[in-house]
Amino acid sequence: MKAIIINKHGGKDVLEYVTDMPIPTIKENEVLVKVGATSLNRIDTVVRNGYPGLNIPLPHILGGDIAGTITELGANVNGFNINDRVVVYPVYLPEIRDEKYDNLEHLNDGWHFFGMQRKGAYCEYIAVPAENLFKLSDNISFEEAAALPIAGLTAYHAVNGIVELKKGDFFFIWGGSGGLASFAIQMAKLKGATVIATVGKNEKKQAVYEFGADYVFNHYEDDIVNEIKKIAPKGLDVIIDYVGPATFDRSFAMLRKNGHIIFCGIISGTETKLSIHQTYFRHLNLHGIYLGSKNEFAEFLNLVNLGKIKAKIHKIFSLKDAKDAHTLLESGDYSGKIVLKID
């Protein structure tokens, strides 16, 4: 089968287009999905470069977002048929699960992530557990569906699971033009929050306003902390920060008492300093998250099916042009999602 593989870690040039990768063999509880499209996420570049502390067998295939058609059913699979169009919950769950995590099954030890611990979707075919499948509405293309799982689920978990935003709250996200931000902004507006976002280039502001943001600032040119004081004098209720140390101090400073920071990325590093005194004195809430539960994914897909949330796709590349797609991802010169079409 066609695939983009990496035989070593490094920059985009380690991405190799091949046509002779073996088609996966499915287990009795799995289906074989012919991938229609996958989308790029920042985690793809982290894994490509070498995820800190994680040894991945090579050659490896990136890609955690999966949308396509079932071509083969395992012996114990029920409820699905050949040619069903599906989108995939992106967490490969372990067999043994702690009952404490019944509604947050992705927190069980031993979970795997497609494109990280397991081979991903930069390819023609992938084996997927049937429990991960969600049927895809005919009016949603594979390209649109591929933009949903990782970015959309993470955003939904942040806005609807970790924190229940409400009308009148002030919501803030760094890097408002990205895929996760495009979903988080839409969901925050559905909750009635005032939405504030940043961009690194002024020409990206319009796209973020189109996502639904009320205020958009340039995080290189504007004094973000001072601008927030003008809009929300008591501080922000919820901040999503997937940048890391480069933005932590400002995120921390902008929170109101009992406010929430939600961490879901390490773009600028893994360590920072924390004022324990200020944390308890201001009654602050710091949350680390990744992805979300299957129920949350179902709820998120329902919003998409109802037309309340839309995937924002910047550009679609052919699989063989994955290097160009990674170049665009790393440049930051896009808004919404970048998609690979498997043709």
How far apart are alpha carbons 154 and 93 in whole angstroms? 17
Residue 296 lies in a domain: no
In whole angstroms, what is the distance from residue 43 CA to residue 41 CA? 5
Indicate if 141 and 181 belong to the same structural domain. no
20, 130: one domain:
yes
Same domain, 128 and 265: no
Q: What is the pLDDT of residue 207?
A: 96
The 10s digit of each residue's pLDDT in 217-264 is: 999 999 999 999 999 999 999 999 999 898 999 999 999 999 999 999
The domain that holds 190 is classified in CATH as: 3.40.50.720
Mean predicted lDDT score pLDDT of the chain? 96
Q: Which residues of 232-254 are buried (b: 16+ CB within 10 A; e: fewer)?
A: beebbbbbbbbbbeebbebbbeb
In a domain, 297, yes or no: no
Query: Which H/E stretch holds residue 179?
Result: helix 179-190
Domain count within the chain: 2
Q: Would you say residue 293 lies in a domain?
A: no
Domain extent at residue 210: 152-288
Q: Is pLDDT of 52 > 90?
A: no
CATH number for the domain harbouring residue 20: 3.90.180.10
The answer to whether residue 54 scores a pLDDT higher than 90 is no
Taking 90 as the threshold, does the pLDDT of residue 275 lie above it? no
Tokens of 27: 């287990």
Q: Give the C-alpha separation, 14 to 323, whole Å.
A: 9
Instruction: Report whether 151 contacts 334 (CB < 8 A).
Output: no
Strands 30-39 and 337-341: antiparallel
3-state secondary structure of 338: strand
Q: With 0.75 as the threshold, say if the pTM is over it.
A: yes
| DSSP conformational letter for 323 | H
Identify whether residues 263 and 156 lie together within a single domain.
yes
What is the per-residue pLDDT across 124-183, written as a single tens digit (0 to 9) for each? 999 999 999 999 999 999 999 999 999 999 999 999 999 989 999 999 999 999 999 999
Q: Residue 71's pLDDT band (boundaries 50, 70, 90)?
A: very high
Asked whether residue 243 falls in the same domain as residue 173, the answer is yes
| Angle, helix 149-156 to helix 294-305, in steps of 10 degrees | 100
Q: What are the tokens at 313?
A: 């796709």
Q: Examine the domain organization and report whether 31 and 129 are in the same domain.
A: yes
Using alpha carbons, select from 312, 313, 316 the residue that is nearest to residue 325: 316
User: At 51, is the pLDDT very low, low, confident or very high (cuts 50, 70, 90)?
Assistant: confident
